[in-house]
A = this chain, B = another copy of it.
Amino acid sequence: MPFAISDPADPRIEPYRAVRERDLVGRQHRFVAEGEVVLRVLLRQSRFTIESLLLAEGRAESLSDALALLPPDVPVYTANRQVMDAIVGFPIHRGILAIARRPSLPPVEEILAQLPEKALVVGLIGLTNHDNVGGIFRNAAAFGADAVLLDRETCDPLYRKAIRVSVGGALVVPFTRAPSAEALLRALEAASFEVIALSPSGKEVLSQIRPSRRTALLLGAEGPGLPHGLLEKTRSVSIPMSGGFDSLNVATTSGIALHHLTHG
């Protein structure tokens, strides 16, 4: 039975207050998921503990099949649109928010140790754009990548917008962060991964690559790309393009490479 909230200052919905301002600061122990598609992934497929839901009036009915999966001790709050907007701080058209617990990230070595013998992981170096990181998680989920590894500079996959762009993929694919790109590479090599670094200057061509039993795909930010030192130590691979138009979005690149490695 949902709890109806009529006062935006109600202390029970404190974590939903000023969503955007807190997005900017970053949440240490929680994250916010929004919208029906993402909530359904959070309820059905993710490994995260949900703390509470806040729904616009009327949304609970259309979600009842998904809400049946919610542990009975997790509170569901409802509010009319006006109260919900006042809590959140902006018009929240989707009318669906969840707060979940952000676990501490395991060491890269620990995630790698848990992977099956045949495995495919994605490594992200210096990706500071939430749309791109979200898009890459969407593709990683779609093609069944076993994990995504981030360097220190890559932005947070549990940022609200990254989760939304990932269509929930950021809630599905296990990820963690390495202290540096070099540490990430060492951990992959120690776990017997063949490391493929995508770069417009790559020495081999993607369509000629056959995946190894354990393959890691490294992607850098559009523009700077992967650091030169990293390309020297890995198998560098390019996607040939046409007529001087040498420009692919990095999330699209991840989709092309993951499709090739899983179905090529």
Contacts and interface: CB of A to CB of B under 8 A. Distances in A.
Given A207-B263, A264-B264, A135 B245 contact: no
Given A138-B249, A248-B138, A252-B252, A144 B243 contact: yes
A241 interface: yes
Contacts of A142: 241-242, 245-248
A174 to B, nearest CB: 13
Interface in A25-60: 45
A248 B141 CA distance: 9
Nearest to A259: B256
B240 A263 contact: yes
B243 A135 contact: no
A17 to B, nearest CB: 29
Of residues A138, A142, A167, A247, which shows the largest number of chain B Cβ atoms within 10 Å of its Cβ? Answer: A142
Chain A interface category by residue count: 35 or more
Contacts of A245: 45, 141-142, 144, 168-169, 172
A251 B167 CA distance: 15
Contacts of A239: 259, 263
B242 A141 contact: yes
Contact of A251 (B143, B252, B259): B252
Contacts of A259: 206-207, 239, 256, 259-260
Interface string A45-80: 100000000000000000000000000000000000
A23 to B, nearest CB: 20
A138 B206 contact: no
B263 A167 contact: no
A241 B138 contact: no
A207 B138 CA distance: 20
A255 interface: yes
A47 to B, nearest CB: 14
A251 B251 CA distance: 10
The 6 closest A-B pairs by CB, nearest first: A144-B242, A252-B255, A207-B263, A141-B245, A142-B241, A256-B259
